[in-house]
Amino acid sequence: MAKKKEKLSENKKKKDTEELKVEPPTVEEKPPAEEAEAEAETAAEAKEELSFEELGLDPRLIRALHKKNIHKPTPIQHVAIPLILEGKDVVARAKTGSGKTFAYLLPLLQKLFSESSPSKNNQAPSAFILVPTRELCQQVYSEVMWLIELCRVQLKVVQLTSSMSNSDLRTALAGPPDILVSTPACVHTCLSNGVLLPKAVQDSLSIIVLDEADLLLSYGYEDDLKALTTHVPRRCQCLLMSATSSADVEKLKKLILHNPYILTLPEVGDLKDDIIPKNVQQFYISCSARDKLVHILALLKLELVQKKVLIFTNAIDTSYRLKLFFEQFGIKSAVLNAELPQNSRLHILEEFNAGLFDYLIATDDSQRQDKENFDSGSNTERKKSRKHPKQKLDTEFGVVRGIDFKNVHTVINFEMPQSAAGYVHRIGRTGRAYNTGASVSLVSPEENDIFDDIKSVMGESDSKDSNFIAPFPLLSKNAVEALRYRAEDVARSVTKVAVRESRAQDLRNEILNSEKLKAHFQDNPKDLDLLKHDKVLSKKEPAPHLRDVPEYLLDATTQEASKIVKLARAAMGNSNTARRKGFRGKFRKSRDPLKTFSAEASKRPPKGGMKRKGLESNAGHKRKRKQPAD
């Protein structure tokens, strides 16, 4: 007890710790608002340093988390877990990557551990976890499965997808499972065609989660949710998780929750607020659209950014162009987009998360929707687009929102997103939980308007705004010029026809893969080794001399910058030790090599007198002082 009090006063002194606001539910005899809020905030602070044990989590779950190297709750988990264990309805709004999934999953599982008994005669699942996309279904399903397996408990979990036939759905729900992970549309289908009986749902359902709630309505699930809520019993505990707060979240709250506790990171409110984790550093490089290829080549080939890298494009053709371009330099990458079949997409995500390749080029089709959602606050347009889906593109596919790309250190915007909301959600794919991350946006003059919008949302003052987007300091003009000749030569060989053929070929391969994957996954759900998604598409053999960057091309400054990136990995908490200890407090700008280093400012002569030749050598010599990166 004394120890806890000590922790409480220590915590109160902390100025730079993240605070969570807890709004208690409206009750008849509520204390004056201010008092209530103060009490709630103190409670949140007191919990800040508590361990999973102190939060009352089942030892089996704690052991499972430890096996996955998770030792300390994130702030949202501190506050949400005890409330959910107490049976409260909760609305949790916290930044992307803040650990919202475990914040509901851990207490949900713990409740089911104690509920499940042989005498229980449920005719429908006890828990529904509803998410907006199939990718998220798969992601949540995998998280539940490994937790259950490590805990060695007998709980049955199923996920539903819209491609399942009635008989598939019936088989999946026979039993019935304890937990159902699904989009609202699939549950609605099951209710309408009698696969799920409303009475059974009313009798069995004890907990329902709406994950990524800010997306559920905008993906057009309002009718599905309305149809479901009429069967949700009053005693059922309802949880709503969201990265942002929007009119849609408010609507959902009213639709399904009863007197909930509202857990909010103070800055989460709307887009203007800070929803990018503080441990992500944001940079930009200004260059012409044509020069983007040579710049990205320099970033990757000279190792000026840390792996794994998630690269965003706005068009699928651009992603294939990049892939073909990279191939010629021996850089293996995979593409991910809404055109690929679902099984392939899931497999690509799994392989990338498992670390089988380091570069993933994603085409972010959902950004148009993000823009509509944030700009208008209405979901009419999206409803329309769900009814009339774009040809070939899978509307349930969400490449950005909510997907947990594991250990992505760097996000590169090869093309700028079309809205500030799109930017926020792209960048949110790095710096997840206690990890650090960086983003580099390549901005052409044509993209200056959108970049200005983004900057005005992120904050324009280096000293005041934690989301300030700084010029990328590690890439010198010399380094770019040194690679220009090679890059332009290869870029010319990646013609429109080559891109079109590769895209068609990849799609054909992936459709075949998808069929094989379907069968294979049924028997070996964990097997990641079946098919490769980062295979070479180009018909042209890469020239051996392009694979490695010869030393004479690298000036001392660039070599130093590359070393700095490696050093930064350790300094910024990417080592296991640092991650275990937690990141906050370590990440001071003054000590951060990425912020203090400037590729152009260094005057150190090349070590050992580096040889330089021809055009490339001349470019390498022209070094100017104190210029921005480009």
Q: Residues interacting with ligand ATP, by CB under 6 A?
A: 70, 72-74, 77, 94, 96-102, 243, 402, 404, 406, 428, 432-434
C-alpha to C-alpha distance for 490 and 614, rounded to whole angstroms: 19
CB of 612 to ligand ATP, least distance (A): 44
Q: Cα torsion at 271, 430, 211, 386 (round to 10°)?
A: 70
CB of 591 to ligand ATP, least distance (A): 23
| CA dist list (Å): 538 to 365, 432, 491 | 25, 34, 13
CB of 418 to ligand ATP, least distance (A): 20
CB of 182 to ligand ATP, least distance (A): 17
CB of 20 to ligand ATP, least distance (A): 13
Task: Compare residues 96 and 206 and give the one whose CB is closer to ligand ATP.
Answer: 96
CB of 354 to ligand ATP, least distance (A): 13
Placement of tokens 């399903």 in the chain? 141
Task: Compare residues 219 and 326 and give the one whose CB is closer to ligand ATP.
Answer: 219
Pairing of strands 179-182, 309-313: unpaired
Task: Compare residues 211 and 481 and give the one whose CB is closer to ligand ATP.
Answer: 211
Task: Compare residues 277 and 341 and give the one whose CB is closer to ligand ATP.
Answer: 277
Contact 47, 72 (CB under 8 A): no
If phi > 0 it is left, if psi is from -120 to 50 it is alpha, else beta; for residue 18 that is beta
Exposed, middle or buried by CB within 10 Å (0-12, 13-18, 19+), for 454? buried
C-alpha to C-alpha distance for 214 and 206, rounded to whole angstroms: 23
Looking at residue 608, its amino acid is: G
Contact 490, 329 (CB under 8 A): yes
Task: Compare residues 70 and 271 and give the one whose CB is closer to ligand ATP.
Answer: 70
CB of 476 to ligand ATP, least distance (A): 34
Task: Compare residues 125 and 398 and give the one whose CB is closer to ligand ATP.
Answer: 398
Angle at 471 between CA 604 and CA 280, to 5 degrees: 110
CB of 159 to ligand ATP, least distance (A): 16
C-alpha to C-alpha distance for 188 and 95, rounded to whole angstroms: 29
Alpha helices in 242-355 (DSSP H): 247-256, 292-301, 316-328, 342-353
CB of 101 to ligand ATP, least distance (A): 3
Alpha helices in 95-234 (DSSP H): 100-115, 134-151, 166-173, 184-192, 198-204, 213-216, 222-229
- Cβ neighbours for 269, distance < 8 A, ≥ 6 positions apart: 245
Long-range contacts of the stretch 579-588 (C-beta < 8 A, 24+) = 579/69, 579/434, 579/435, 580/69, 580/71, 580/72, 582/72, 582/434, 583/279, 583/434, 583/435, 583/436, 584/16, 584/17, 584/18, 584/278, 584/279, 585/16, 587/278, 587/279, 587/436
Q: Which of 157, 161, 123 is nearest to 141 (CA)?
A: 157
- Cβ neighbours for 299, distance < 8 A, ≥ 6 positions apart: 305, 412, 440, 475
CB of 169 to ligand ATP, least distance (A): 26
C-alpha to C-alpha distance for 434 and 69, rounded to whole angstroms: 12
Task: Compare residues 131 and 348 and give the one whose CB is closer to ligand ATP.
Answer: 131
Task: Compare residues 69 and 119 and give the one whose CB is closer to ligand ATP.
Answer: 69
CB of 434 to ligand ATP, least distance (A): 5
Task: Compare residues 98 and 379 and give the one whose CB is closer to ligand ATP.
Answer: 98
Task: Compare residues 142 and 189 and give the one whose CB is closer to ligand ATP.
Answer: 142
Task: Compare residues 429 and 484 and give the one whose CB is closer to ligand ATP.
Answer: 429
